[in-house]
Structure 1
Amino acid sequence: MTHVSDPIPDVVSVDRVRLVDVIAAYVGLTKPRVIELLLLTTVPVMFFATGGVPKLGLVIATVIGGTLSAGSASVFNCVYDRDIDEQMRRTRRRALPRHIVSPTAALIFGVVLAVVSTAVLWAWVNPLSAALSLGANAFYVFIYTMLLKRRTTQNIVWGGIAGCFPALIGWTAVRDTVSWEPFVLFLVVFFWTPPHTWALAMRYREDYAQVDVPMLPVVRSARAVAAQIVAYSWVMVATSLAIVGSDRIGWFYPVAALILGGAFLVQAHRFHTRTKTSDDLSVLQPMELFHSSNLYLSLLFVAVAIDPLITR
């Protein structure tokens, strides 16, 4: 026998699916994978600045504030770039190109995240960290997204500065001041960004060419890009060793930096060698270098955190 109440569960289920889709869309606007990497350069520096294990409450507040701030910057980026995101294979599944979230709603969401993140960092961390976080957010939106991205091949070189700020924020969260050590780590991320991003851009160079975004792999040959990747990689590894002069560093970090740096340089040179014989993506395998760069930076900053725990 069919009961009048039978269809009700189906209606509720549809509503729930829609709610889940909308929530997932808003979360997607914040680019969670980017946030993960940014936090991985924040929390280890807090261990380094403390010389041991930082206070849990401070770590939680810094992580929450940093997550909301980075998420806000990503939302603003999605709003501004929604026209080209609709045309690119890598981005056409985002919430705005699929019209799951309106540009106005996304903009409001981004503003709310920015305000809340600044308030959290100001109240539970310190004003300096809040100001640095807000500055990184503004730099990413106004300098990289709106000014550089569509105008110059050096877009991610200078625009990537925004992604270097977490190293400073992790330090200031603990010490409420700046020092030369976090600036060295800042520069490591700065020199890491071009090899990391150009490898990804090479994989999607046709997408960028289609929307007239002048990423370096679009306007230069694969061999020329690979040569610059090798150059930046050497500077990055050399910079990572500059911090060894700090009296806060023991034996573990230098060993890890040498091993990780050597492994990444092998990958970068191998990639460069491939470009001498072919321009085909199936031969070049740029995503191999991209994933290696993620692993390199992650493990390097883990070494920053581990060093004071085992050498002090």
Structure 2
Amino acid sequence: MGVSEQSVRTLGLSNIKTVTKAYVSLTKPRIMLFLIFTAYCAMFIAQRGVPNLQTMIVGLGGLALSAGGAAAINMWYDRDIDRIMQRTAKRPIPMGIVTPWHALVLGIGLGILSVVMLALWCNWLCATFSLMGYLYYAVVYTMWLKRKTPQNIVIGGGAGAFPPLVGWSAVTGHQGFAAWIMFAVIFLWTPAHFWSLALYKNDDYVRAGIPMMPIVCGSKTTKRQMVIYTFLLLLSSWLLVGSLRAQVLYIIMATAAGLLFLRSTLILMNNKEDQMTLAKRTFLVSLMYLPAVFAAAVVCALI
């Protein structure tokens, strides 16, 4: 039986959509949006108002290219363990939709394009911090820390903390105290966020041979450290108050979010019966914490 021209056309369009979706997923768009959001918040706080539209487009666009490029490098380098882990087995390279070489070229190309874009149409400081974040994630974390030390997430947390520095410098051309506090907040947020994921995805990391904290030091030590980092996170979030107008309101909102996150880690630490459910719950709380605090900071900077 012959295949109709319409069927061939439909199959062709379907294949194009599949490949396009695969290349987009190489850039980890959900993580990219999260990073863009933190930079966007930093822009508003730095400006004490709505930043210039062109600056926002160029600054956030350049950051998106940098984040997407670093993510593609991460997937290229981790393609061997991604095939083993259930959580990552359906990524484009393990599925055979994108070749490793193409992912590498995409990652390097986006990184170069980001630097050029930010340097030409924003400023060199912004381009420098964007490049530092790119190299931190693609090289320092992915190629060095991830497979060598249980502190991979702690030290590697700096990779996701660069966007506020990019956003702040895009608007002002320099750095400020508040930008570094936002960096610290993301840095201290990262361990509890990723270790909660590692606790309920522990089997995946064991199969891949990744020395995550729960594997190397055990769940008890991991949970205790999660509580410590979350407490430090709460304290660090208060330091942002000096850069805001509605200071009392911010303290209330940041404290409420911090205590909710801290409560979740304490319950996880003290309950040995239902680790899977509580780890998932803590992970979800961590996902809500950072947007809540940064959005609160923006509101309290503007009113």
Shift of 1:249: 5.9
- Alignment partner for residue 136 of structure 1, among 127, 133, 138? 133
Question: AA paired with 2:176?
Answer: S
**1:104 aligned residue:** 101
- Where do 4+ consecutive residues of structure 1 move more than 4 Å? none
**1:268 aligned residue:** 265
Structure 2 residue 32 is the aligned partner of structure 1 residue 39: no
CA separation in 1, counterparts of 2:244 and 2:185? 19
**1:78 aligned residue:** 75
**2:183 aligned residue:** 186
Larger CA deviation: 158-167 vs 245-254: 245-254
Larger CA deviation: 217-226 vs 202-211: 217-226
Shift of 1:239: 0.4
CA separation in 2, counterparts of 1:206 and 1:131? 38
Question: AA paired with 2:138?
Answer: V
**2:54 aligned residue:** 57
Question: AA paired with 1:77?
Answer: N
Question: AA paired with 2:294?
Answer: F
Structure 2 residue 242 is the aligned partner of structure 1 residue 245: yes
**Structure 1 segment 123-202 matched on structure 2, within 5 A:** 123-202=120-199
- Alignment partner for residue 306 of structure 1, among 282, 296, 299? 299
SS state at 1:41 partner: helix
Shift of 1:36: 1.5
- Alignment partner for residue 204 of structure 1, among 185, 198, 201? 201
Residues 238-295 of structure 1 show CA distances to partners (whole Å, capped at 9, x for unaligned) of 0000122336663332221111111111111111121xx33x544x431211111110
**2:217 aligned residue:** 220
SS state at 2:263 partner: helix
CA separation in 2, counterparts of 1:256 and 1:38? 21
Query: What's the TM-score once normalised by structure 1's chain length?
Result: 0.93
Shift of 1:205: 0.8
Q: Is the Cα contact below 8 Å between 2:29 and 2:68 reproduced in 1?
A: yes
Q: Is the Cα contact below 8 Å between 1:45 and 1:304 reproduced in 2?
A: no
**1:12 aligned residue:** 9
**1:287 aligned residue:** 280
Structure 1: stretches of 5+ with no match in the other structure:
none
Structure 2 residue 119 is the aligned partner of structure 1 residue 122: yes
Shift of 1:161: 0.5
CA separation in 2, counterparts of 1:79 and 1:26? 12
Shift of 1:308: 2.0
Identity among equivalent positions (%) equals 38
Structure 2: stretches of 5+ with no match in the other structure:
none
Residues 128-166 of structure 1 show CA distances to partners (whole Å, capped at 9, x for unaligned) of 111110111011111111111001000011111111101
Q: Is the Cα contact below 8 Å between 1:32 and 1:71 reproduced in 2?
A: yes
**1:25 aligned residue:** 22
Residues 61-82 of structure 1 show CA distances to partners (whole Å, capped at 9, x for unaligned) of 1121111110000000000000
Question: AA paired with 1:172?
Answer: S
Structure 1 residues 53 and 227: CA distance shift in structure 2, 3 A: same
Q: Is the Cα contact below 8 Å between 2:244 and 2:297 reproduced in 1?
A: no
SS state at 1:95 partner: coil
Larger CA deviation: 30-39 vs 17-26: 30-39
Query: What's the TM-score once normalised by structure 2's chain length?
Result: 0.96
